């Protein structure tokens, strides 16, 4: 599970749709009050941004003509330790990882800005 936290326009269809689905998985774990130590340690999740990031992903999907159907219910993150709750994904590291894996995202990134 991962929140890339990069500009949504960079994400290829596979990564855009993948992050969309992963938000539901992350929120599900939060509803179960699961620990996020590993996700935080590996720069994968930014708990305070989950709802706004989901909205950004959804808006990008709509702009590309996709039809997201599922309703997202914002999870309660208050159970997380403060340092996890307030963790911020290192966007540059995340971008480097994404572009190192995906030629399509790399191609899209060159058309942004």
- Chain position carrying tokens 């936290």: 5
| Cβ–Cβ under 8 Å, residues 65 and 111 | no
Classify residue 75: in a domain, yes or no. yes
CA-CA distances (angstroms) from residue 77 to 27, 65, 86? 9, 32, 10
Model confidence over 68-111: pLDDT tens digits? 989 999 999 999 999 999 999 999 999 999 999 999 999 999 99
Classify residue 35: in a domain, yes or no. yes
Domain that holds residue 90: 8-109
Classify residue 83: in a domain, yes or no. yes
Q: Is the dihedral of CA 104, 107, 109, 113 positive or negative?
A: negative
Q: Which pTM value belongs to this model?
A: 0.92
């Amino acid at each position: 599970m991962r929140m890339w936290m990069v500009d949504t326009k960079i994400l290829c269809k596979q990564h855009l749709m993948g992050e969309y689905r992963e938000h539901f998985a992350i929120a599900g774990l939060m509803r179960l009050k699961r620990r996020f130590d590993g996700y935080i340690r590996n720069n994968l999740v930014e708990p305070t941004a989950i709802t706004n990031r989901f909205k950004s992903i959804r808006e990008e999907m709509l702009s590309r003509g996709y039809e997201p159907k599922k309703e997202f219910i914002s999870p309660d993150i208050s159970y997380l330790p403060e340092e996890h709750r307030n963790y911020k994904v290192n966007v540059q590291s995340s971008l480097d990882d994404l572009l190192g894996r995906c030629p399509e995202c790399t191609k899209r990134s060159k058309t942004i800005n």
